[in-house]
A and B are shown apart, each in its own frame.
Chain A
Amino acid sequence: MDRLSEAEREALAAIFEAILGPVEAHGLPAFRSVDREDFHRILETAPGPLFLPGLRAMLRTIELATLPSHRARLSRLPLEARREAVERLGERDVFVLRQILSTLKILATFAYYEDPEVRRRTGVDVDASAPSGSSGASHLVDVDGRTLLRPAAFECDVVVVGSGPAGAACARKLAERGLDVLVVEEGLEAEPASFSASGLRAMARLYREMGTSMALGNAPMPFLQGCAVGGTSVVNGAINWSLPDDVVERWIARDPALAETFDRGRIEAYDRELRARLRITPTEDAIAGRKNLLLAEGAEALGLSHRPIARNVEGCEGCGRCLQGCPHGHKLSVDRNLLVDAVERGARVLAGMRVDRILHDGRRAIGVAGASAAGVAFDVRARRGVVLAASAIGTPALLLKSGLDDGPVGRHLTAHPGVSLTARFEEPVTNFRGATQGHEVTGLRAEGLKVEALGFDASIVASRVPGFGGPLAPRLAELDRYAIWGTAIRAEGEGSVRLVRGRSQVFYSLAKEDVVRARRAVRRMGEMFFAAGATEVYPGALGYPEIVRSREEMARFEEEGPLSPRAYAMSMTHLFGTTRMGSDPRDAVVDPHFEHHYVRDLYVVDSSVFPTNLGVNPQLPIMVVASIAAEYVARD
């Protein structure tokens, strides 16, 4: 296993200490007050294999940045000089430097907020070091891959790869129809009581590659995917929208053969059923928290339509930990309902089992093969069909790994890139409390923008407030004054998923119109912030002033803000289209009945089949479409 050397750990600690600034002068504990062995162990084991080499490259670059001015590496400078040097580097409008410093800053805040005393003084949950292992209780799982020490073979009617919203919804409907269903999930079953409040530990345990996956393109963007029984529904904001009529109409206009599949009555029936099963209800003001109510105030002041977000929760206390996994089990992720229904009807769930390959003879799929978390092989023989629900990245990657590269597999990736904005209020906002994502602005959807309040762990909020070194420390001491909102952009850009040395890699570039939308999103959010009473807004745009102090100044951002895709720190959310559906095999991977155009008994039921992006949060549409797909899988 690749490990950080003692010298590398020491250099990182020295740089983190400089980035955080003189925190002790502002009433917070010093950075070096606790042992961080756990932190280093997580960095060495949880992210993808490219993380440590990348971190080393960043470390070397930033170390050398002070050689010309100080004739010494950054980490070797005395503390005061180190802080000043980091502050100066942070002021430079250089893309690579910003990328490196931003990455190191979030690692620094992750490390810092592991200290229970820091969390206590910041007013956040202190159980940062809660056990990250499973409690051992298993309600759903038939086989846990950690305990599978010998090669194993399974049989079933239908094997479903992936247990997120798509896989769970499809498995539930297949089991209802009496089929012997086996769900195979790479992640482990997650017990709410064992979920840590720490952003770092939650990401290490519940996110694929600890959230370090990056899409490469004209603006490298991270993207997050859950990796647990229940998939991303375990770590998302529990937001639900119906599949919009205008989107379906566009799909059918483009390919009339999809009309039967996406029949309005059928969609509505599943939508109603799932809304009832997942208890989808609007967020109540009582648990929304200030950040959500401020978004309502800001939108109202600007005359933009807005509403509480409809979420799949029951008894939510507004602890603000949706993205770390709800510790109370109040978020109704699919492992708490749809998978339970499937298991009650005889479906089996294998957890900690990574599928590497579809077994087929070029004409018909007969099963899947892969490896357990313990590193031993398994295979599943499926008598009736193989169903892929491994996400818009995992599904095409699995097809490509299996030699099934017919049609545009992996191409036509569409998404909702997200841009976020941080603002400071004079009053406590306490971003890390209240419903994680409880309010949304719907009035900008025609412009391709959907604004939401965002709730993060304190470690992530700390990484989003501006500054390095001296200017950062006082802001960390008043972390409850900062709010973060985000906008999902209905982007025109397209990307792809390809294999690079057997591993999936996402390539995605923003179109020019998308950057224009990002700029408008920043302006709109900034104006709403000021309308809601913010005193400072931080556009976070390279080449633009770090702090904006008035609504008028914010309005100018749409004219004066940068138009380079690299100027904005964006992330990718909601991915679609990489095995899209259509009647023409040259233009689509699956037919209008979700079956692969060339390989019989092979189906794709996740957002990969969506012909375009949606402009809204896709969780509920994914479940609706996967439920429809089950009808075809069962029929065939």
Chain B
Amino acid sequence: MSITALRSLRSASRDELRARITEGHPVDPKAIEGWVYRGTALGMPAIAVKLTWRTFQKTFHRLADGRLVGWNVRLEQDGIDAPSRPKRRHSLPLWTWPYEVVSPSGIPTPPGFDRGLLIDYARAPNPPQQRLVKDPLVALTPGDYDALLGVSYLVVGGRTIETPTYFTLEREHRVDFVPDIFLEHRWIG
């Protein structure tokens, strides 16, 4: 899928976006590891965009033990199509919400949300409320991993709760920075 086509999803309805998730295609973990993707939140109310963020980055990094992990990077909100500019602390990107990327098999998902990979925040050292969140991730065209679509849902007491938080991911650049918790093997699975 071209970047232009991916960006056209910005004006898609939630029903359309949900259909894209449930009709999505598998994602090859090897094709995304070592890369930073630029994320754009879709379908968020204007007030939520103002208070939080519209654009962000997601990274995919393979640990020495074979697990595919990642973290979000907060971006300066310069505009939806402005170049990514990470917020920084001591010149390093400000990262949040670490996660592990896994296959959805055996994990509760809403119907049809199991077609790609799953970003699982419960498998990372996050606060309890963040550990409830999972993001299914699908390719929009078979074999094309430059443009991905994701959505967040919650797992509470074994039950799944869908949210309206959809996002697109565009491949951006290779990982240039790995947070210390991954380098020092302090990762808690």
A557 → chain B closest CB, angstroms: 46
Specify which chain A residues have a CB less than 8 angstroms from the CB of B85 in the assembled complex.
356-357, 401, 502
How far is B89's CA from A405's CA once the two chains are assembled, in angstroms? 11
Task: Identify which of B76, B84, B93, B170 gathers the most chain A CB atoms within 10 Å of its CB.
Answer: B84
How far is B173's CA from A354's CA once the two chains are assembled, in angstroms? 13
Whether A366 sits at the interface, judged by CB under 8 Å, is yes
Whether B2 sits at the interface, judged by CB under 8 Å, is yes
**Chain B 138-187 interface residues, beta-carbon cutoff 8 Å to A:** 146, 170-174, 176-178
Bitwise, B74-92 to A at CB < 8 A (1) or not (0) is 0010110111111010111
Whether B38 sits at the interface, judged by CB under 8 Å, is yes
Whether B44 sits at the interface, judged by CB under 8 Å, is no
A159 → chain B closest CB, angstroms: 13
Bitwise, A199-224 to B at CB < 8 A (1) or not (0) is 00000000000000000000000000
How far is B176's CA from A192's CA once the two chains are assembled, in angstroms? 39
Q: Is the CB of A377 within 8 A of B88?
A: no
How far is B158's CA from A212's CA once the two chains are assembled, in angstroms? 59
Report the nearest B residue to A381, measured CB to CB.
B174
**Chain B 1-33 interface residues, beta-carbon cutoff 8 Å to A:** 2-4
Q: Is the CB of B176 within 8 A of A367?
A: yes
Complex partner residue of B83 from A357, A361, A404, CB under 8 angstroms: A357
Specify which chain A residues have a CB less than 8 angstroms from the CB of B81 in the assembled complex.
375
Specify which chain B residues have a CB less than 8 angstroms from the CB of A359 in the assembled complex.
173-174, 176-177
Q: Is the CB of B170 within 8 A of A405?
A: no
With A377-B171, A404-B91, A406-B91 already in contact, the answer to whether A502 and B83 are too (CB < 8 A) is yes
Task: Identify which of B82, B146, B176 gathers the most chain A CB atoms within 10 Å of its CB.
Answer: B176
Q: Is the CB of A375 within 8 A of B3?
A: yes
Specify which chain A residues have a CB less than 8 angstroms from the CB of B88 in the assembled complex.
403
Report the nearest B residue to A369, measured CB to CB.
B173
Specify which chain A residues have a CB less than 8 angstroms from the CB of B178 in the assembled complex.
361
Binds B, one of A147-155, A266-274, A283-291, A342-350: A147-155
Complex partner residue of B84 from A149, A151, A357, A376, CB under 8 angstroms: A357
Specify which chain A residues have a CB less than 8 angstroms from the CB of B4 in the assembled complex.
375
Specify which chain B residues have a CB less than 8 angstroms from the CB of A375 in the assembled complex.
3-4, 81
How far is B98's CA from A104's CA once the two chains are assembled, in angstroms? 53
Whether A527 sits at the interface, judged by CB under 8 Å, is no
Report the nearest A residue to B91, measured CB to CB.
A403
How far is B81's CA from A405's CA once the two chains are assembled, in angstroms? 24
B81 → chain A closest CB, angstroms: 8
How far is B86's CA from A369's CA once the two chains are assembled, in angstroms? 13
**Chain A 392-432 interface residues, beta-carbon cutoff 8 Å to B:** 401, 403-406
Specify which chain B residues have a CB less than 8 angstroms from the CB of A501 in the assembled complex.
78-79, 82
Specify which chain A residues have a CB less than 8 angstroms from the CB of B78 in the assembled complex.
501-503
A135 → chain B closest CB, angstroms: 26
B75 → chain A closest CB, angstroms: 9
Whether A244 sits at the interface, judged by CB under 8 Å, is no
Report the nearest A residue to B145, measured CB to CB.
A151
Whether A27 sits at the interface, judged by CB under 8 Å, is no
Specify which chain A residues have a CB less than 8 angstroms from the CB of B173 in the assembled complex.
153, 357, 359, 367, 369, 377-379
Report the nearest A residue to B171, measured CB to CB.
A151
Complex partner residue of B2 from A149, A366, A377, CB under 8 angstroms: A149
Whether A360 sits at the interface, judged by CB under 8 Å, is yes
Complex partner residue of A377 from B76, B79, B92, B170, CB under 8 angstroms: B170
Specify which chain A residues have a CB less than 8 angstroms from the CB of B82 in the assembled complex.
501-502
How far is B79's CA from A240's CA once the two chains are assembled, in angstroms? 41
How far is B91's CA from A360's CA once the two chains are assembled, in angstroms? 10
Specify which chain A residues have a CB less than 8 angstroms from the CB of B38 in the assembled complex.
377
**Number of residues on chain B facing chain A (CB within 8 A):** 27
A599 → chain B closest CB, angstroms: 9
How far is B79's CA from A362's CA once the two chains are assembled, in angstroms? 25
Complex partner residue of B176 from A153, A360, A377, CB under 8 angstroms: A360
Bitwise, B118-155 to A at CB < 8 A (1) or not (0) is 00000000000000000000000000001000000000
Whether A633 sits at the interface, judged by CB under 8 Å, is no
Q: Is the CB of A151 within 8 A of B172?
A: yes
Q: Is the CB of B174 within 8 A of A356?
A: no
Q: Is the CB of B86 within 8 A of A150?
A: no
Q: Is the CB of B86 within 8 A of A403?
A: yes
Whether A116 sits at the interface, judged by CB under 8 Å, is no
Specify which chain B residues have a CB less than 8 angstroms from the CB of A360 in the assembled complex.
176-177
Specify which chain A residues have a CB less than 8 angstroms from the CB of B176 in the assembled complex.
359-361, 366-367, 369
Complex partner residue of A361 from B79, B172, B177, CB under 8 angstroms: B177
Specify which chain A residues have a CB less than 8 angstroms from the CB of B92 in the assembled complex.
361-362, 403
Whether A370 sits at the interface, judged by CB under 8 Å, is yes
Task: Identify which of B3, B4, B78, B82 gathers the most chain A CB atoms within 10 Å of its CB.
Answer: B3
A19 → chain B closest CB, angstroms: 34
Specify which chain B residues have a CB less than 8 angstroms from the CB of A369 in the assembled complex.
172-173, 176
Complex partner residue of A153 from B79, B83, B84, B174, CB under 8 angstroms: B174
How far is B40's CA from A377's CA once the two chains are assembled, in angstroms? 14
Whether A371 sits at the interface, judged by CB under 8 Å, is yes
**Chain B 39-91 interface residues, beta-carbon cutoff 8 Å to A:** 76, 78-79, 81-86, 88, 90-91
Specify which chain A residues have a CB less than 8 angstroms from the CB of B86 in the assembled complex.
403
B135 → chain A closest CB, angstroms: 21
Q: Is the CB of A376 within 8 A of B83?
A: no
Specify which chain B residues have a CB less than 8 angstroms from the CB of A367 in the assembled complex.
173-174, 176
How far is B177's CA from A403's CA once the two chains are assembled, in angstroms? 13
Specify which chain A residues have a CB less than 8 angstroms from the CB of B93 in the assembled complex.
403
Report the nearest B residue to A364, measured CB to CB.
B176
A323 → chain B closest CB, angstroms: 29
How far is B178's CA from A361's CA once the two chains are assembled, in angstroms? 8
With A362-B92, A401-B85, A403-B92 already in contact, the answer to whether A502 and B79 are too (CB < 8 A) is yes
How far is B116's CA from A460's CA once the two chains are assembled, in angstroms? 59
Task: Identify which of A366, A367, A375, A378 gathers the most chain B CB atoms within 10 Å of its CB.
Answer: A375
How far is B35's CA from A378's CA once the two chains are assembled, in angstroms? 11
Complex A-B: 26 CB contacts under 8 Å = A150-B146, A151-B172, A153-B174, A356-B83, A356-B84, A357-B83, A357-B173, A359-B173, A360-B176, A360-B177, A361-B178, A362-B90, A362-B92, A362-B177, A367-B174, A370-B83, A374-B3, A375-B81, A376-B3, A377-B172, A377-B173, A379-B174, A401-B83, A401-B85, A502-B82, A503-B78
Q: Which residues of A contact B (CB under 8 A)?
A: 149-151, 153, 354, 356-357, 359-362, 366-367, 369-371, 374-379, 381, 401, 403-406, 501-503
Shortest Cβ-Cβ A-B pairs, 9 listed: A502-B78, A369-B173, A379-B173, A359-B176, A356-B83, A403-B88, A151-B171, A377-B172, A403-B91
Q: 9 additional contacts, CB 8 Å, given A362-B90, A401-B85, A501-B78? A: A151-B146, A151-B170, A151-B171, A359-B174, A362-B91, A403-B88, A403-B92, A502-B82, A502-B85
